[in-house]
Amino acid sequence: MLPKQSVKRIIVLFVLLVSPLLAVHTQKAFAQTSEIPTDAEAIAAGEVLFQQNCKTCHNIETKLIGPALKNVYDRREMPWIIKFVQNSTKVIQSGDEYAVNLYEEYNRTMMTTFDFLEDKDVVNIVAYIKDQTDNPPVAAAAPAGGAVGDGAAQPAGVPAAYLNAIIIIGVILLTALLIIMFMIIRTLGKYINLREDIPDEEKEFAEQWNPFALARNKAFVGILVAIGTMIVAKGAIDNLYSVGVQQGYAPKQPIAYSHALHAGEYGIDCNYCHTGVTKSKNANIPSANICMNCHSSIVEGTKTGTAEIQKIYDAIENNEPIEWVRIHNLPDHAYFNHQQHYAVGGLECQTCHGPIEEMEVVYQYSNLTMGWCINCHRDTEINTKDNAYYDELLRLHEEESDKPFTVEANGGLECAKCHY
């Protein structure tokens, strides 16, 4: 332990040393921010300039092509910001250490030269940036997350949480009712026993229904145990069946690619990207080259300058595939073929995958269990129109049976059709 005296001395020394530094620091920050106008006029003028010139590469809160501009006025002095915005190349070439590092960090992306902007214009832009930093817009934050939530909840009619609550309350009420009835029966039984005027055989009859006598009855107990075992077993089997079932699974993807935008709003055909559906087992996930058919030519000023699009370019440049997270996945022992169902069977993608064209983030719509496959094979008639392959099979089927020619009737429930 240090003596009290020296602890005090150390503290005093520390405060003496640090306070001037603190003072300088706060003063600097104060001087800096006080230069930035806060009047609505300057902010509005700055907003217009920002939207016209900077938006394609900068966001306030997040990184795009360039850094997030939030708090940039704390990182740099105003004169530096003005010089940099007006001609960043000149600042970088002058060997300014901060600028050179930033330039390297952003993969040597050149910021556009804005020599037509007056000093005052840049100050106004910074005023807008500061205003946005201090009062971030509220609405912009939510959309992506919201879409995922909606997606996962989609398949259920009544929300599961309510359903469970209703069932639990029901069970409690019924149990209470049962107990009350038992008590009434018992009381009545006792009362009957006390009455002298009731003959013995009638008392015996009443005694049979005494719940406590019932508990001693082997047959009754046997039935109860059997029912209990069945319930537990059913639960266990259901659980086994749902091992690996991932209905509603909607992982975050490496690029914020949206089916709602591409397949929905712009109406791009599913098989433009999923080229396998007409000719093979797998639907295929498109390579970055297919994205580039459009994203190399859509022009500036749109959303195409964003960091998300930059990721496609990075993948091509580094010759690395985009690592999409797979959503639908049958176990290895099961065989499923897209061509058979889409091209031959004529089923819509949406029958199995749900409203993909409305999904911001794809989620697994169906549960993909064996029961799901089988149920559809039982109910669905084979589309035999214009398919010579089925002519003979259909004729044979109609000779033998007057039931519809379902997938089941054609052997679609045979284990080997779906299992290797």
Residues 284-343 that bind ligand HEC (CB under 6 A): 284-286, 290-291, 293-295, 298, 302-304, 306, 308-309, 312, 324, 326-331, 334, 336, 338, 340-342
- Tell me which residues in 27-86 interact with ligand HEC (CB under 6 A): 53-54, 56-58, 65-67, 69, 72, 75-76, 81, 84-85
Alpha-helical (H) ranges within 94-241 are 97-105, 119-134, 143-153, 160-194, 200-208, 211-214, 218-241
For residue 132, give the 3-state DSSP assignment.
helix
For residue 280, give the 3-state DSSP assignment.
coil
Tokens of 211: 């719940």
Contacts of residue 273, defined as CB under 8 A and 6 or more positions apart, other chains included, come to 262, 285, 286, 290
Selected from 43, 206, 257, 360, the binder of ligand HEC by CB under 6 A is 257
Given a contact cutoff of 8 angstroms between Cβ atoms, the answer to whether 144 and 257 are in contact is no
Closest distance between ligand HEC and the C-beta of residue 31, in Å? 18
- Residue 383 touches ligand HEC, criterion: CB under 6 A: yes
Q: Is the dihedral of CA 14, 17, 20, 21 positive or negative?
A: negative
- Tell me which residues in 341-380 interact with ligand HEC (CB under 6 A): 341-342, 344-345, 347, 349, 351-353, 356-357, 362, 368-370, 372-374, 376-377, 380
What are the phi and psi torsion angles at 390 (to 5°)? -90, -10
Given a contact cutoff of 8 angstroms between Cβ atoms, the answer to whether 378 and 353 are in contact is no
Measure the CA–CA gap between 57 and 59, rounded to whole angstroms: 7
Q: Which stretch binds ligand HEC (CB under 6 A): 30-38, 219-227, 271-279, 397-405?
A: 271-279
- Tell me which residues in 121-140 interact with ligand HEC (CB under 6 A): 125
- Residue 256 touches ligand HEC, criterion: CB under 6 A: yes
Question: Is the CB of 106 or the CB of 182 nearer to ligand HEC?
Answer: 106
Question: Is the CB of 25 or the CB of 281 nearer to ligand HEC?
Answer: 281
Question: Is the CB of 214 or the CB of 290 nearer to ligand HEC?
Answer: 290
Inter-CA distances, 229 with 221, 223, 225, 354, 411, Å: 12, 10, 6, 37, 35
CA 233 from centre of chain: 34
Question: Is the CB of 60 or the CB of 103 nearer to ligand HEC?
Answer: 103
Show the binding pattern over residues 173-202: x = contacts ligand HEC (CB under 6 A), - = does not. ------------------------------
Question: Is the CB of 60 or the CB of 277 nearer to ligand HEC?
Answer: 277
